[in-house]
Amino acid sequence: MNARIPGTDRPTAGLRYRQVVGRWRLALRLARRDLRRHAGRAVLIAVMVALPVAAGSFVMTTLESNEPYAPADTEAELGPGLQAKIEGIGGPIEQFWQGNGSLWFWDAVGWTKYDSVTAVSMPYQELEQSIERQLPDDDQLVRALKGTVRLDDGEGAAMSVAVQTDFAEPDVAARFPVLQGHLPGDGEIAVTQRHRDLGLDLGDTVEVELADGTTTTATVSGIVPRTIDMISPVLLPESGPLTPPQEVVSRGFDYPLWYVVGDAPVTWSDVQDINAAGAFVTSRDVLLDPPAPVNAGSTWSGYVDWASLSVIAALVLVGLLEAVWLIGPAFAVGARRETRSLALLAVNGAPAPTLRAVMLARGLLTGAAGSLAGVGLGIAATAVLAQMIPDRLPALRLPVGPLTAILLVGVLLAVVSAWPPARRAARADVVTVLAGRRPEVSTPRWPTIIGASAAVGGVVLAVVAGAQHWAVGLSAGIVVADLGLILACGGIVALLGRVAHRLPWTWRFALRDAARYRARTVPAVAAVLVAMAGATAGLTYFDAEKVVVEGTPYWPWASTGTVAVTQGYGHVFAEDESERLQALVDEALPDAGPLLPLPVAVIPASADNSPAPRRELLDLTVLPVDPAGPDVNLSPDFNRWPGPVVTDGSDRQLLHALGIPEEHLDDVAAALADGRLPLPSSHVDADGNATVTVRAYFDDPPVEDRVLPAAVVGVPGERIRNLPILPEALLDELGAEPALGGYLVENPTVPTSEQKSLLQTRVNAELVGFASDRALDVRVETGRQPGQGSDSLLGSLSTPWTNDARPIIGLAIALAAVFLALAGTWSAVALSAVDARPDLATLAAVGAAPSARRRVVAAQAATISVIGSALGLVAGIAIGIGWTLLSRYPVEVPWLQVTALAVAVPVLATVAAWTVTRSRVTLTRRRS
């Protein structure tokens, strides 16, 4: 066989291919045996790869499983056998199998196109027949009616959505798994766990009231879980009591429902036909085999939050780099131990790519093992979570694409970590190694220069981008600064090595050793650096946020624990419902005080017979005396009540419930009794008057400035949330009249969420009932509470944490930083112990004390951790400042905490290295 190109010594393509195959066969064989021989090190690397992979897999699997509408959720929505679920809209629509931007919206029936749903209607029978005509021949329609019912067991009542269908149909029955009992037959109903929490249980007899007022009694036959599409439905048997509507009206709430049973799938074409007939379809076939997007113009890209994505990308990138720095030294240990074997391979004709392949194969195998374990771990964690919160994660679904990508990233992580040792091994001088001498270290200057420049540039970019509120720039700055510092680490270490001549011999030894073996020192310094930078940036940001949060005054709208029951925005009560409401309050809040009607001032309007008449509201704004001063306008809180509270001051309990501070109660009551507006001094002029802008809230101007009598009840600049309260005596002057704006109840403690939920349920059942145009809100004044989440990740990242959580977060950051920094330091120190063995033997031979070894190892740990901490501290503070500026917070560096961290890491690393060396546990094991 002639494997050379004729006339040359060059191999043919076939030979080159066989050489490459032979190279990797050998590399993988050596790697496999190396991992078996050094299982401890292999497991350590695999674990370091597995942890980030497990985290990523967990997040992706959880997100995928949490997706509300996706193929694997078909069973949750359609059970094991239904072909489709159809909901009548009453007019032709265009549906998309999944949501797709603002043109599409999620309403009671699924994703529908907003402008497709117009106020149309059609007879129920006609719609049902039209749908039946569009179905495949082998399928049948099973009617299911939806409606709102009121359940009353004599002790309490609740409003619920009800579904009435034929549970004798096996596929329909399978759609509603039963937790306890059985599906309803004649004279029975099934309820959800939620109803049981409210007091209904198996065997209870309840009165079922329909919207038309008809009632029937039924026995609770079963408990069913919440469902993905109807939350907490009451299930009714086919026999009633719901009856089909005459008309199906779009924009309604209780769309009629049908289930499709049979063998034929409902295809996308069928779905479009049924859409045209006036119904929305959730089809198993479509969910499992989605059609191509019907509207290519509407894509998610318009909704991508690039700022949030850039922050995520930066965090992931820095996190992966941290993992690389932590894993790298472990490979370097292996490479160092295998130096002679690699040299022997070279002697026998292995070129540099083969030597690199030998080391990379180790990364490949450990990375693959670690990644597989990590993916398995992540999926298992999601499975456990799904057991704990089945409502949120109804079905475990594996995102194959993302999981594969994560797996590959894990493998790549290990291969990239193995690359520097592989490169060094391939470049090592064979003769030097075979002679038992240490390879010479080349020290190019360009990485230091480029790295330092990038570090400075990155820090400047981060701070400037932060000040300009440019999240992408901040993220880029963070990454560039980190990479630059890491690149410059080698030069910094070398510089310190050169200036070590005045130090004691242990420090001199450690610094020069670090400089000489930069290959293992730099990853360790980088690991400490990144961990410290992250921690310092986090602490800086959270400290600034703390200042903002603590500096932001909290304005309660009532005294703590007070419960308000109000109408929707701008509505007042048409009649006094205090008697009925008092009974509900007594049931839900047994310790509460009396119900306090809340009078508000409104502009008289024509008679309105609706249960929640909407009046023209009186918008009253008190201007500060000094328009240029720091004090702002005072207005009634329209988010709470439909107008300024009006009283003559005699009801001290009402004033107290409104949250007027105790020290101002007398003054406020006196002012109101005197017909004056109670105000802080900043809003009352020298003549005892206040300038008030009066206008009708919903109408356009005229706006009128009025001068009204006022009385001082607070110091300048003091804000009392519910001021101004309007004295009854001024109503006539303003052309207003009192109306019932809501009710207040003072509770000695903040009601629990269960109490609030119970009161809301009872209020809905007793006061709202089937009135679809009325809503009653139960609200509780809880005092200062955690900040609410934001709609973007960036927002949620910058959402203020609670005072309670802040110390825990700070501690978690500090502990994570300490852990990562120590891991990085110790791995390098362990490697250094291997390299320094001949030197230490020499030292012992020339009479160094037995403690010399410990002192050297401790000094090496100190060298790495001090350099990493110092650089990380500087970078972290700069990045933290950028992040803080991005969030428009004032810059506040927590010097005490970051200094403590910067001191604690080196001290811990040094002390622990000293201790471990003496005990000969970790370091000696690594050396074997």
Partner 1 sequence: MNVPLEMKGVTQVHGRGANEVHALRGIDLTVREGELVAVMGPSGSGKSSLLNVAGGLDTPTSGSVHVAGTDIARRGARERAAVRRRDVGFVFQDLNLVPALTALENVALPLELDGMRPGAARGDAEAALAEVGLLEAADRFPEDLSGGQQQRVAIARALVGPRRLVLADEPTGALDSVTGDAVIRLLRARVDAGAAGLLVTHDARYAAWADRTVHLRDGLVEGGGPGSDGAGLDESGELQGADA
- Chain residues binding partner 1 by CB under 8 A are 3, 9, 11, 15-19, 21-23, 25-26, 29-30, 33-34, 37, 340-341, 344-352, 354, 430-431, 434-435
d(CA 362, CA 366): 6
At 550, give phi and psi (nearest 5°).
Answer: -70, -25
CB of 330 to partner 1, least distance (A): 18
Nearer of residues 348 and 442 to partner 1, judged by Cβ: 348
Nearer of residues 18 and 508 to partner 1, judged by Cβ: 18
CB of 430 to partner 1, least distance (A): 5
Q: For residue 809, what are the CA distances in angstroms to 56, 467, 542, 901?
A: 21, 25, 9, 15
Nearer of residues 341 and 578 to partner 1, judged by Cβ: 341
CB of 346 to partner 1, least distance (A): 7
CB of 301 to partner 1, least distance (A): 48
Handedness of CA 596, 602, 607, 613 (dihedral sign): negative
Per the listing, tokens 């001498």 go with 437
Nearer of residues 10 and 501 to partner 1, judged by Cβ: 10
d(CA 886, CA 897): 22
- Contact partners, residue 779, CB within 8 Å, separation at least 6: 563, 564, 565, 566, 640
CB of 38 to partner 1, least distance (A): 10
CB of 793 to partner 1, least distance (A): 47
Nearer of residues 272 and 432 to partner 1, judged by Cβ: 432
Closest CA to 872 of 530, 542, 537: 530
d(CA 853, CA 837): 9
Nearer of residues 29 and 438 to partner 1, judged by Cβ: 29
Handedness of CA 673, 674, 680, 683 (dihedral sign): positive
CB of 15 to partner 1, least distance (A): 5
Tokens (6 digits) for 273: 């036909």
d(CA 370, CA 788): 38
Nearer of residues 36 and 501 to partner 1, judged by Cβ: 36
CB of 352 to partner 1, least distance (A): 7
Nearer of residues 98 and 341 to partner 1, judged by Cβ: 341
Q: Where are the beta strands (DSSP E) in 79-156?
A: 84-88, 104-107, 110-113, 121-123, 139-152
CB of 40 to partner 1, least distance (A): 17
Check if the beta carbon of residue 157 is closer than 8 Å to that of residue 280.
no
Nearer of residues 18 and 423 to partner 1, judged by Cβ: 18
Nearer of residues 34 and 577 to partner 1, judged by Cβ: 34
CB of 419 to partner 1, least distance (A): 20
CB of 334 to partner 1, least distance (A): 12
Q: Is 711 helix (H, G, I), strand (E, B) or coil?
A: strand
Q: Where are the alpha helices (DSSP H) in 499-517?
A: 505-516
Name the residue type at position 641: W
Nearer of residues 33 and 888 to partner 1, judged by Cβ: 33
Closest CA to 478 of 452, 458, 454, 453: 458
d(CA 42, CA 548): 47
d(CA 678, CA 261): 69
Nearer of residues 221 and 339 to partner 1, judged by Cβ: 339
**End-to-end C-alpha distance for the chain, whole angstroms:** 47
Nearer of residues 341 and 635 to partner 1, judged by Cβ: 341
Q: Is residue 219 within a helix (H) or strand (E), and if so which, with residue range?
A: strand 215-224
Q: Is 470 helix (H, G, I), strand (E, B) or coil?
A: coil
Per the listing, tokens 């959730």 go with 282
Per the listing, tokens 């959402």 go with 799
CB of 431 to partner 1, least distance (A): 5
Per the listing, tokens 């008092």 go with 582
d(CA 248, CA 325): 65
CB of 360 to partner 1, least distance (A): 16
Q: For residue 843, what are the CA distances in angstroms to 444, 830, 833?
A: 31, 18, 14
- Contact partners, residue 57, CB within 8 Å, separation at least 6: 374, 375, 377, 378, 379, 382, 403, 406
